[in-house]
């Protein structure tokens, strides 16, 4: 079960960060999960270098210069499957082992399992210096949201500004066109490798609202994976889910449900009815019914997700808190405020314990609870919870972040003890 396996892997990396002074370590995971794990340990003493942001081959010069400019004792280098595309890239990594070690600190390299297999075959010298290795099962991270304040995409999710993201998308354009032009008889290895790169580009497009561009790439990925690995493969299911999310974001709920159900059929058949990836798909389907205003169906699917998460992950896991939060949101929209607050409190108990009182997800729940109190007409309680959220967003995200601005607008309105919706 991925829950227990991942918990062990989280503990392994936590031990490294708390006890090691230097050395090379590794974990394998899907690209979204790699990013999530790095963000999970997002402490001030940790720096993250993400190859999906530049799609460049491995270069000690670039990586070494970046590391020397950090004031960190631990370096996460994620999405290395993008940097290690050719044998010469892996050989360059092998040859630079001593140079990386000379920088000092804790190096934690993350890549997909297939990239790690190539590393074992070619980079023996580098690989022999890996002290500990962990593997994380995919938990559907890219699909998970707490629906905290706004449904729009925030420009700071992966880049400091939308302008930076736009520059990256422009750099990706040529590569994307080149890979899209590959004929379907180009050979399995080449096509499947292209699909991984196209998947990263599509995710960037989707994140920053370029839905047409994302869909074009995803449909090509679908064609490649259906041809090369079949329509009942877990990677094909990931593509179906990604297509569903783009339709969802465009308001195409009927199409989104269709693609989510195709992904669900694969996951239920291969992974079973009690797997966390299956629960994630239940959660995604519930979210669409929620946006459609079909709250009875939404709650039905959320309960399916919750049953799995409570059984496999436990009642004190952040993903369980996500489902509690989502159910609370449905009850709030049904104007069942006492039940909404009950579920928010369940989510909050987990978040404060696991994430801490100064985490953005915790602040999001403070905000959502304030909204419920406000709708009940309890403006004193609403103001108290708004202030808690405001303090965290200002401290963690900064005064110019959209979430901070929304909170400040709420607090400005509160001076008249009248909130508008």
Q: Is the pTM of this model over 0.75?
A: no
Are residues 44 and 87 located together in one domain of the fold? yes
User: At residue 245, does pLDDT exceed 60?
Assistant: yes
- Is the residue at 28 inside a domain? yes
φ, ψ dihedrals at 334, nearest 5°: -90, 5
How far apart CA 205 and CA 214 sit, in angstroms, is 5
Write the CATH number for 174.
Answer: 1.25.40.10
Q: pLDDT for 90-109, tens place per residue?
A: 888 988 888 888 888 999 99
Indicate the number of domains in the chain.
2
- What pLDDT, on a 0 to 100 scale, did the predictor assign at position 16? 85
Higher pLDDT pick, 296 / 102 = 296
Are residues 167 and 110 located together in one domain of the fold? no
- Is the residue at 109 inside a domain? yes
- Is the residue at 283 inside a domain? no
Which of 54-63, 228-237, 280-289, 376-385 is predicted least confidently? 54-63
Higher pLDDT pick, 154 / 77 = 77
If pLDDT is split at 50, 70 and 90, which confidence band does 392 have? Answer: confident
- What pLDDT, on a 0 to 100 scale, did the predictor assign at position 30? 83
Strands 74-78 and 106-111: parallel
Are residues 52 and 107 located together in one domain of the fold? yes
Are residues 131 and 7 located together in one domain of the fold? yes
Are residues 129 and 182 located together in one domain of the fold? no
Are residues 108 and 184 located together in one domain of the fold? no
* Residues of the domain holding 207: 146-270
- Is the residue at 383 inside a domain? no
- What pLDDT, on a 0 to 100 scale, did the predictor assign at position 255? 96
Structure tokens at 33: 């999960």
User: At residue 51, does pLDDT exceed 90?
Assistant: no
Are residues 118 and 150 located together in one domain of the fold? no
Higher pLDDT pick, 351 / 171 = 351
- Is the residue at 81 inside a domain? yes
Of 270, 288, 315, the last residue of a domain is 270
If pLDDT is split at 50, 70 and 90, which confidence band does 110 have? Answer: very high
Of 86, 112, 135, the last residue of a domain is 135
Are residues 107 and 169 located together in one domain of the fold? no
Write the CATH number for 92.
Answer: 3.40.50.300
- What pLDDT, on a 0 to 100 scale, did the predictor assign at position 126? 84
User: At residue 149, does pLDDT exceed 50?
Assistant: no
Tell the burial category of 296 from Cβ atoms under 10 Å away from its Cβ (0-12, 13-18, 19+). Answer: exposed
């Amino acid at each position: 079960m991925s829950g227990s396996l991942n918990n062990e892997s989280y503990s392994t990396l936590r031990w490294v960060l708390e006890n090691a002074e230097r050395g090379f370590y590794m974990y394998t995971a899907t690209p979204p999960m790699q990013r999530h794990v790095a963000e999970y340990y997002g402490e001030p003493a940790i720096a993250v270098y993400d190859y999906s942001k530049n799609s460049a081959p491995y270069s000690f010069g670039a990586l070494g210069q970046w590391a020397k400019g950090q004031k960190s004792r631990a370096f996460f280098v994620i999405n290395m499957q993008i940097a290690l595309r050719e044998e010469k890239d892996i050989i360059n990594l092998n040859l630079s082992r001593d140079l990386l070690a000379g920088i000092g600190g804790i190096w934690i390299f993350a890549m997909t399992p297939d990239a790690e297999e190539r590393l074992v075959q070619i980079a023996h010298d580098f690989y022999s210096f890996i002290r500990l290795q962990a593997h994380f099962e995919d938990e559907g991270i890219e699909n998970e949201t707490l629906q905290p304040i706004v449904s729009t995409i925030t420009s700071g999710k992966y880049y400091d500004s939308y302008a930076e993201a736009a520059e990256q998308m422009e750099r990706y354009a040529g590569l994307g066109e080149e890979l899209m032009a590959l004929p379907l008889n180009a050979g399995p290895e080449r096509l499947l490798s292209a699909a991984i790169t196209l998947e990263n580009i599509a995710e960037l497009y989707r994140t920053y609202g370029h839905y047409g561009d994302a869909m074009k790439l995803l449909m090509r990925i679908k064609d490649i994976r259906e041809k090369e690995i079949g329509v009942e493969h877990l990677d094909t299911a990931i593509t179906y889910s990604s297509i569903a999310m783009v339709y969802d974001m465009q308001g195409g709920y009927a199409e989104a449900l269709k693609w989510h159900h195709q992904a669900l059929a694969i996951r239920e058949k291969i992974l079973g009815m009690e797997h966390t990836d299956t629960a994630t798909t239940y959660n995604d389907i519930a979210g669409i019914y929620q946006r459609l205003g079909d709250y009875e169906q939404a709650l039905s699917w959320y309960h399916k997700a919750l049953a799995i998460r409570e059984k496999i992950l436990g009642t004190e896991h952040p993903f369980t808190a996500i489902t509690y939060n989502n159910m609370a949101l449905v009850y709030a929209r049904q104007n069942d405020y006492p039940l909404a607050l009950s579920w928010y409190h369940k989510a909050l108990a987990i978040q404060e314990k696991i994430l801490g009182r100064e985490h953005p997800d915790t602040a999001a729940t403070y905000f959502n609870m304030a909204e419920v109190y406000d709708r009940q007409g309890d403006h004193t309680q609403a103001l108290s919870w708004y202030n808690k959220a405001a303090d965290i967003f200002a401290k963690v995200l900064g005064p110019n972040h959209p979430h901070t601005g929304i909170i400040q607008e709420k607090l400005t309105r509160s001076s008249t003890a009248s909130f508008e919706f």
